Structure 1
Amino acid sequence: MLYHGISIMLAPVLVLQGLKVRRTTPKLPEPEGERVGQTGANPTLNLLILGDSAAAGVGVCNQSEALLGQVIEQLSPTLDVNYALFAKTGATTSTTLEALKQQCTPAHPILGQSTFDVIITSLGVNDITSSVSCDKWLQQQQQFFELIRQLYQPKLILVTALPPLGLFPALPNPLRWSLGQRANQFNERLAQLIHKLNQQDNQTSRFAMIKLPLDNPQPEITMLDFMRQVMASDGFHPGAPIYNAWASLAVEQIVDGVVAPTFV
């Protein structure tokens, strides 16, 4: 691809910009709030969220505003949920895969659960900002998917696409452009992998990809300015509006793919 050649030529600039971004971007904490629990006396859905700082809810103050809390709130009119969140700032596909292998014991308060009906994943941003190749990342993603299927037998795995790094206010150009192009490539290949997994014989888990439709409803401002409004103060993590939209897409898939069929 053309951007590969351009990125190679710009490599010294990209490295310097990347180091500066890491040094100057504010380090936001993970939000407070429960990561394991249930709503109602008899939950009918087991939900697990796995991933990185976005999965953990960095960018808001409490889990009620983050992905977990928003999914629970939006599902509440439909059903009660047994929920769990296993996410960590800085997590990559590789580190999450290893954590699952090492910590998935009956004694673990989150990973020790025997089944989850729905698993939402959010991994890739920390991979993309590292030196991992797209091929290697896809191999790790496939291993990760196969492991969570083996461990938890989910009915639905919702794979969150990489966000549009080319619109992140915290990133200067040309670093923003380069990471945006890289994210597009990773997403294209990830969609192909998900399609392949859904075509496998004896498939007990269905995969679906969640990609946020970040359309600017304010034509008088630029898309970059709009992103500054809906992202966290660091210009790198989701803000409450994005978590709300993300949860809406997840809930739509859960209701259509898991909840509705049980009433047919």
Structure 2
Amino acid sequence: MLYHGISIMLAPVLVLQGLKVRRTTPRLAEPEGERVGQTGPNPQLSLLILGDSAAAGVGVANQSQALLGQVIEQLSPTLNVNYALFAKTGATTSTTLQAIQQIDTDHPVLGQGHYDVIVTSLGVNDITSSVSCDKWLLQQQALFTLLKERYTPKQILVTALPPLGLFPVLPNPLRWSLGKRANQFNHRLQQLILKLNQQQGNQTRQFTMITLPLDNPQPELTMLDFMRQVMASDGFHPGAPIYNAWASLVVEQIVGGVVVPRCV
């Protein structure tokens, strides 16, 4: 690809810009709030959210505003939920895979035997590291295989990489380069998900890729200005509007997918 050659030529600049962003960007804390629990006396769905700082809710003050809390709130008219969150700032696909492989059965989240739905959010920290797309896809596939074997989920909702090319905190050409890299990773991830679903045969589609529709409803604003409005103060993590939109897509897949609410 053309951008590979350009990125190689720009490598010294990209490295310096990356180091400066890491040094000057404020480090936001993970939000307060419960990460394990249930809604209602008879939960009809078990949910695991797994991943990085975005999965953890960095960018908002409380889990009620983050992905987990928004999913629970939006599901509440339809389903009672057993929920769990395992996410950590800085997590990569590799570190998450290792954590699941090494955990014991006493762990309150990863030690569980089954989840109906698993939502993953991994890739940004992979993108900003030196991992190749091919290696990342192998790690993603290994993670999906382990999740299927360990938790027998009915649905695995795989969150696409966000549009790094629109992150306000990133200067150009770093923003351009990471945006192109994210697009490549997403394209290859979509191909992997298609292949995995085809391998299911006649079974219900198990994997779905969740891509946020970040459309600017205010034409007088540039996309960068719009992203500044909906992202966290650091210009790198989601803000409450993005978590709300992300949760809506997750809930749409759960309610309209293979997990059907039981009559109560």
Query: Any residues of structure 2 matched to 1:147-166 within 5 Å, and which?
Result: 147-166=146-165
Residue 142 of structure 1: SS of its match in structure 2? helix
1:132 equivalent to 2:131? Answer: yes
Residue of structure 1 in register with 2:228 after alignment: 228
State the alpha-carbon separation in 2 of the partners of residues 255 and 262 from structure 1.
Answer: 11
Query: Any residues of structure 2 matched to 1:66-215 within 5 Å, and which?
Result: 66-103=66-103, 105-201=104-200, 206-215=206-215
Paired residues of 1:153 and 1:204 also in contact (CA < 8 A):
no
Aligned partner letter, 1:173: N
Residue of structure 2 in register with 1:61 after alignment: 61
Aligned partner letter, 1:36: V
Paired residues of 2:44 and 2:261 also in contact (CA < 8 A):
no
| Alpha-carbon distance, 1:106 to partner | 1.9
State the alpha-carbon separation in 2 of the partners of residues 217 and 205 from structure 1.
Answer: 32
State the alpha-carbon separation in 1 of the partners of residues 72 and 137 from structure 2.
Answer: 30
Residue of structure 2 in register with 1:11 after alignment: 11
Paired residues of 1:3 and 1:181 also in contact (CA < 8 A):
yes
Aligned partner letter, 1:146: T
Residue of structure 1 in register with 2:37 after alignment: 37
Q: Aligned residue pairs: how many?
A: 262
| Alpha-carbon distance, 1:201 to partner | 4.0
Residue of structure 1 in register with 2:259 after alignment: 259
| Alpha-carbon distance, 1:258 to partner | 2.9
State the alpha-carbon separation in 2 of the partners of residues 209 and 246 from structure 1.
Answer: 12
Paired residues of 2:193 and 2:208 also in contact (CA < 8 A):
yes
State the alpha-carbon separation in 2 of the partners of residues 86 and 97 from structure 1.
Answer: 12
Aligned partner letter, 2:130: S
Residue of structure 2 in register with 1:22 after alignment: 22
Paired residues of 2:154 and 2:259 also in contact (CA < 8 A):
no
State the alpha-carbon separation in 2 of the partners of residues 261 and 185 from structure 1.
Answer: 37
Paired residues of 1:119 and 1:156 also in contact (CA < 8 A):
yes
Q: Tell me: CA distance 1:260–1:172, structure 2 relative to 1, closer, same or farther (3 Å).
A: same
State the alpha-carbon separation in 1 of the partners of residues 88 and 258 from structure 2.
Answer: 27
Can you list the C-alpha shifts for 1:200-256, whole angstroms capped at 9, x where unaligned? 146677000000000000000100000000000000000000000000000000001
CA RMSD of aligned residues (A): 1.2
Residue 138 of structure 1: SS of its match in structure 2? helix
Gaps of 5+ in 2: none
Deviates further, 252-261 or 169-178: 252-261
Residue 173 of structure 1: SS of its match in structure 2? coil
State the alpha-carbon separation in 2 of the partners of residues 258 and 146 from structure 1.
Answer: 19
State the alpha-carbon separation in 2 of the partners of residues 97 and 137 from structure 1.
Answer: 12
State the alpha-carbon separation in 2 of the partners of residues 176 and 77 from structure 1.
Answer: 40
What is the identity percentage for the equivalent residue pairs of Structure 1 and Structure 2?
82
Can you list the C-alpha shifts for 1:125-173, whole angstroms capped at 9, x where unaligned? 0000000000000000000000000000000000000000000001000
State the alpha-carbon separation in 2 of the partners of residues 12 and 262 from structure 1.
Answer: 57
Paired residues of 1:48 and 1:119 also in contact (CA < 8 A):
yes
Aligned partner letter, 2:214: L
State the alpha-carbon separation in 2 of the partners of residues 37 and 84 from structure 1.
Answer: 7
Gaps of 5+ in 1: none
| Alpha-carbon distance, 1:112 to partner | 1.0
Can you list the C-alpha shifts for 1:177-217, whole angstroms capped at 9, x where unaligned? 00000000000000000000001146677000000000000
Aligned partner letter, 2:168: P
Residue of structure 2 in register with 1:242 after alignment: 242
